[in-house]
Amino acid sequence: MTDDLQPFAPPGASPTTHAPPSASPYAAPMHGPWAPGHPARPARPSAHLAWVVAAWIVCWPLGIAAHLARDRALSAHDRGDAAELERYSRRTRTLGVWAVVVGSVWALAVLAGGVAGAAWLVENEGVLDSEDFSPSIEDEADPLAQVYPDELTLGDCFDYPAEGEALLDLRPCADPHSSEVFAEATVPDDAFPGDLATEHMAERYCFAEHEALARTEDPGERTYVWFYSPSEESWQYGDRIIVCVADTEWEGDTVTGAWLGPWARAAEESFANLEPGHCLDPAAAHVGGGSAVSVPLRPCDRFHAAEVFGVVPLPDTEYPGDSGQQRAGREVCRAELARLGLAHLEDGRLEVGSLTPGAAHWGSPGFSVAACYLASTEDFLDEPIPELAAAPGS
């Protein structure tokens, strides 16, 4: 039996030439793929361990898949399944390559975003200082009221309206807000002068007023000026008001506190105490206090609507009614203008007007007078009327 035994060599080695040892009755029989007569056992492959490690580092989901594929390749190697070993080794490498590609793209995207973010921070250095941020308008309490632009009055504080919104949210000036009414005036024309004319008039008036007020009190961040002026449609409903608004320069910014203080409020005078040379906006006259009619005075070297040329007695009659009151005042004022030899000034560009007491004060001592003025019918006046300054008794 010993003659049938072949020389034994380890896998991958050439058979030896010396005679094999005698068979032992205790020797276990050799079975399996590595028994004599089977192909030599291939070397244990790396199964692309480097790719698996790289996949774990740069993209762990693909790293898991690559790790599992490598385990299958190693198992195939142990079983001697060369085809499966080749297939899973290739899959391990493919997954590793994809993991590196995906991870590299992600890393480049993060790097590009970081560079862009750093550039933006450098460009906006100082803007992002948290101490410069004002509270968001959206976080404010409910507004005091909602009004239309032509309902705004001097000193009102509010939030800049969103695009398309007609109503404005009024707020206490002590609370954060973006906008404040710093001036207002009445368009002097009787007939609508056209959109361009009213806008030009409002622009000139508001920018001049902002400049004049800023010389007295620093507006701070309220450097953006805009205005509301009547439209052809609102004119038909009696709208004649120009509203001037000081706003923060940047959208979304807010300020706290009022810009306009007592220094910015025009001094008011009773109509009966007006004197020649006083300049005013007759439309701003109102009933209040102990006077029949009070009116804010305007500096004559700034835009104004009218200039007083006299205060004359009214006829000692019963109250003639509202229309009769206005007619009586205009008649005595035209007579006064003629007495001064200035009747020619009422030429269509200027017209005579008057401030007179109402029914409650008609005939009362100190109020039975008409304050007479010349008002522009085309545009604001921006200086005293020379002829009035040279008139006798002025």
**Could you report the per-residue pLDDT of 29-74, keeping only the tens digit for each?**
433 343 344 344 444 455 566 766 766 676 667 667 767 767 776 7
For residue 377, the model assigns a pLDDT of 85
Residue 389, pLDDT > 60, answer yes
Q: Where is the domain boundary, 263, 291, 307?
A: 263
Which domain-ending residue is among 220, 245, 263? 263
Q: What is the DSSP string of 77-100?
A: HHHT-HHHHHHHHHHHHHHHHHHH
Amino acid at 338: A
**Domain for residue 8, yes or no?**
no
Can you tell me the mean pLDDT for 294-302? 85
Q: Does residue 343 form part of some domain?
A: yes
Counting the structural domains of the chain, the total is: 3
Task: Report how far Cα 216 is from the mean position of its chain's Cα atoms.
Answer: 28
Band the pLDDT of 299: cuts 50, 70, 90: confident
pLDDT, tens only, 7-38 = 444 444 444 444 444 444 433 343 334 334 43
CA angle 279, 281, 286 (to 5 degrees): 120
- pTM for this one? 0.55
Are 49 and 63 found together in one domain?
yes
Residue 129's pLDDT band, with cuts at 50, 70 and 90, is: very low
* End-of-domain residue from the set 124, 159, 190: 124
Distance CA 392, CA 336 (A): 12
Residue 62: predicted pLDDT: 66
Which is it for the CA torsion 121, 124, 129, 130, positive or negative? negative
Least confident range of 13-27, 72-86, 213-227, 331-345: 13-27
Decide if 354 is inside a domain.
yes
| Segments forming the whole domain that contains residue 380 | 266-389
**What pLDDT sits at residue 262?**
55
**From CA 170, how far away is CA 158, in angstroms rounded?**
4
- φ/ψ bin of 111: left (φ > 0), alpha (ψ from -120 to 50), beta (otherwise): alpha
166 shares a domain with 99: no
Q: Do 216 and 263 meet the contact criterion of CB atoms below 8 Å apart?
A: yes
Same domain assignment for residues 155 and 215: yes
Contact between residue 208 and residue 303 where contact means Cβ atoms under 8 Å apart: yes
The rounded mean pLDDT for the chain is 75
Asked whether residue 346 falls in the same domain as residue 382, the answer is yes
